[in-house]
Chains A and B, each alone.
Chain A
Amino acid sequence: MPEIRIRNLRKSFGAATVLDGIGFTVRDKEFVTLLGPSGCGKTTTLMAIAGFQSPDEGVIAVGDEVFVDRSAGVDLPAERRDLGIVFQSYALWPHMTVAQNVGFPLSLRKADKRAARERVAEVLDLVELGGHGDRYPHQLSGGQQQRVALARAIAHPPRVLLLDEPFSNLDAKLRERARDWLKQLQTSLGLTTVFVTHDQDEALAMSDRILVMHGGRILRDGTPEEVYREPGARFVAEFLGQCNFLTGSVAAGPAGSSVLRMPAFPDGITVGAAPRGPEATVAVRPQDIELDGPDAPGVDASVIEAVFLGDHYRYQVRVAGLRIEVHAPHTVACGPARIRIPPGAAVFVD
């Protein structure tokens, strides 16, 4: 399967800029996720690849074929792009059976009737719906409908698979199962895939690479671990899991590290990167902070609220006027306590 190359995509609706210079490449067989809150431009980007939105500027190419090149006046209609899409609503045609839905792309391509029938059966088996071909979409459960939509998207077969929040209509349990199953299928078929979601868990669990989008731009591009551990921007850190943000003055530390000082942490917080200026903000995940009773090492703090959440406690802790959230598996009584931010827990953010 070919790679997708996107350069400098721009799109405005009136005064509102939806895409502000989007550019990225999806390699062959790669699973790339566009992650962001609603209105960040992720769906617009996907629909531009699919051919349902015309960007004002930019280039979209798949393999050797240029889909969109505004400067050259190229904008291939959606039906000539040979892509597979799973829509958020699944968009199954209600007047066609499952087999007719899945076979539609094949019949358009004038496939031999028998070959098409075999192919439909093959794809339906692949999505574990063999024997459901004669049913109508409304006779299926939400999860089954979603798999029919997927079968239809991969039937012809497409050059690239596009997924527009395909799990958002499933309940929580089913969603996790569907997610694992889709990821497996994608890997085994070697489908080059672009996935759009606002759900960080889905993005982390499925992606080879995550692009975090905000305000029509890509803020961060990396593997799930890179993006989670080194968010780079405050928005990314906040969007992927929870974070405490601490601001203070920075001094150089040993071996290319830095030390961030502030009244609450007079001894400083060690950050594993060279300082970039005299002042900086770091992000610290609540589960990376050590919290214990008043005899433990660290600075003096006060636990003002403790909430039990099953696998951990969520504490609100006050440290010299700062309010910090800590997640820890053990019990700490409300009142005086000690808090410590170990080296490596804090990373610089913009």
Chain B
Amino acid sequence: MTAVDTPVAAGRPRAPASVGQAVVSVLVIGLVVGPFVPLVYSSFRSKPVYLPGGVFSLGGYRTLFADPAYRTAVKNTLLFAVGTTALAVAGGTLLAILCTRTNLPGRRAYGLLLMAPSVIPPLGLIVGWTAIYGQGGYVTQLLSRNLHLPVWNLSSIPGMTVFGAVVTLPVAYLTVRSTLAGTDSSLEDAARSAGAGPLRVIGRITLPMLRPAILNCTVLIFALCLEILGIPLFLGGPSNIDFYASFLYRSWSNSGTPDPPFVSAGAVLLLVVVSLLLVVRARLSGAEQRFVTVGARSGGVHRPLDLGRWRRPASAAIGVFIAVTSVVPLLGLVLMSFVRVLTTLVAPWHLMTSDNWHAVATDPALRRSITDSLLIAVGGGAASVALVAVAALIAHRSRFPLRRLIAPALMYPRAVPGVILGMGFFWTYLMFTPGSLVRNNLWGEAIALCVRNLTLAYVVIQPSLARIGVELDRAGHAAGAGWWTVARRILLPMLRPALLAAFVFMFVTLLGDYDPVVFLQKPGTEILGVTMLQHWSTGVQGPVAALAVLQVVIVAAVLLVAGRALRRVDHA
């Protein structure tokens, strides 16, 4: 009766939540937007900003447009981007439909394997491809020297386009697959009961429904192609083909005066183009609302489209595709790390050597690149996830005035080219006094890499947060908890699986990423990607392959362990 009147509680003092919210918001927005300001500024100076006597000038832009190498790089980039996008979107869409809507044998396993190029560290895949399909590659040699057949040229624009399509295909595959998973398959069933055969259903119903998703990933892949750096540096090198990003990189590192304004100007132009593509994409996804199908998802098991006598051939073709694009290059990579030289003229076991691995274990620069990269992947990954988790809570679960800016700020770093973000950080560190605190040590590189990949942590955390009903926060507030208490004791504990997944995603990416730090690395602060890039350009291949194998092994091990851990967390 009087139970309710039993006083067991005293009043509670609390600090206003908005101070902490302000600190985190300003930090996120500052880290993301900050680097672009010095970059744009430096592009409009007549001299690099650290030299005295610079004035405002369009000289950088004029130099850029007058440079025939720039125009060639733009042309190459566009050719590459158009071809790659077309191949990747067509292939990804086809594979997504085959693996989710048909009775293709082995579609489950393929569904996972097709993602491989997005998990394998990018440089590892490039090195593996070179080892197998490059000019001196194993298969290329086998066909040309031993069998005297005409062969391809991986270092040509078509060659790089094919490789680019293999790397970007998972983007299209994932976008289309998730859209297919979210659309009611009863729409297709209705067409079948109206008398349409499988091909007609795909052509008349499935593909038209996918139009927004296909457009969306087309723009996304096109934007990715514009900024690609690894492909032209590794593959285009032998035939002197430059793309936009590699042109900027080479001009930067080979220029007489260091850090010329015209490189900043080129970066700003690319930034503008990519930002415009971002706007286009936002418009497109707005139009997507029109395609949202009415009614509840059927949930029932629907009968997959029957491929008939094409079942086995199609399945075999996908198997071969996966073997050729992922499995064989990975084997080539491993082989390359164990031989003196990869050639078909001498059996590989006669060329066996442990020198490459010995170099990795003893060369201080190579060793440092491994430990530094691991340090950044673990420490930077954890710090980024913590920052993004709180920022996401502010963006979606608070009344903080700046909250609407946070989600776009978190999406932006991954939407702009990594080299450009890196160049922005270079100028930022150079122009501001506190920058010298991080310029000459690992911190500067760690910050650039983490900011670049904040987006990835956010895209993992945000959907999980959206699934937590807002009534759970409200119940916390009603019980007397302030914003931080609700965040700390209710939302963050519930987000644990997402936080772990975000950390794993960050770890894997940070270990392989290098775009943002190609302008920042200095002797003594090596990281894996840039070290591989620099060694490769001097013709050192074996140790680079060994580093790439190491990268792949670490990533595979982490994914394996994390998969187990995540399953356990989900059960709890």
* Chain A residues with a Cβ under 8 A of chain B: 50-52, 77-85, 87-89, 91-95, 104-106, 108-112, 115-116, 119, 122-123, 126, 149, 152-154, 156-157, 162, 188-191
Contact = CB atoms under 8 A, between A and B. Distances in A.
Given A78-B477, A78-B478, A95 B494 contact: yes
A224 B270 CA distance: 70
A52 B476 CA distance: 12
A152 B479 contact: yes
A114 to B, nearest CB: 10
B27 interface: no
Contacts of B301: none
A214 B4 CA distance: 34
Contact of A91 (B11, B12, B474): B474
A81 B480 CA distance: 8
B282 interface: no
A110 B236 CA distance: 66
Given A52-B474, A105-B480, 19 more contacts: A50-B474, A79-B476, A79-B478, A79-B479, A79-B481, A79-B482, A85-B478, A88-B471, A94-B494, A95-B493, A95-B494, A95-B496, A109-B12, A110-B9, A111-B10, A149-B475, A154-B4, A157-B4, A157-B6
Chain A CB within 10 A, most for which of B4, B477, B481:
B4
A71 B478 CA distance: 24
A116 B10 CA distance: 12
Contacts of B8: 106, 109, 111-112, 115-116, 119, 156
Contacts of B12: 108-110
Given A78-B474, A84-B478, A110 B485 contact: no
A112 B10 CA distance: 10
A93 B472 contact: yes
Contact of A126 (B3, B474, B489): B3
Contact of B481 (A88, A108, A116, A189): A108
A80 to B, nearest CB: 8
Interface of B: 1, 3-6, 8-12, 469, 471-472, 474-482, 485, 489-490, 493-494, 496
A87 B4 contact: no
Contact of B10 (A51, A110, A126, A162): A110
A95 B486 CA distance: 13
A346 to B, nearest CB: 44
A81 B9 CA distance: 14
A79 B477 contact: yes
A45 B11 CA distance: 27
Contact of B471 (A89, A115, A157): A89
A93 B494 contact: yes
Contact of A189 (B1, B476, B478, B490): B1
Contact of B1 (A79, A93, A108, A188): A188
Contact of B9 (A51, A88, A94, A111): A111
Contacts of B493: 95
B477 A123 contact: no
A168 B268 CA distance: 57
A189 B481 CA distance: 24
Contact of A156 (B472, B477, B479): B479
Contacts of B480: 79-80, 82, 105, 108-109, 156
Contacts of A189: 1, 3-4
Contacts of A105: 9, 479-480
A204 B10 CA distance: 38
Contacts of B1: 188-190
Given A111-B9, A154-B4, A157-B4, A91 B477 contact: no
A137 B490 CA distance: 14
Given A78-B478, A91-B469, A106 B494 contact: no
Contacts of A112: 8
A109 B6 CA distance: 14
Contacts of A50: 474, 478
The 6 A-B pairs with the shortest beta carbon distances in the complex, nearest first, are A109-B9, A105-B479, A91-B471, A91-B475, A78-B477, A157-B4
Nearest to A164: B471
B489 A104 contact: yes
A245 B476 CA distance: 47
Given A95-B493, A188-B1, A108 B10 contact: no
Nearest to A136: B572
Nearest to A119: B8
A89 B474 contact: no
Contacts of A80: 480
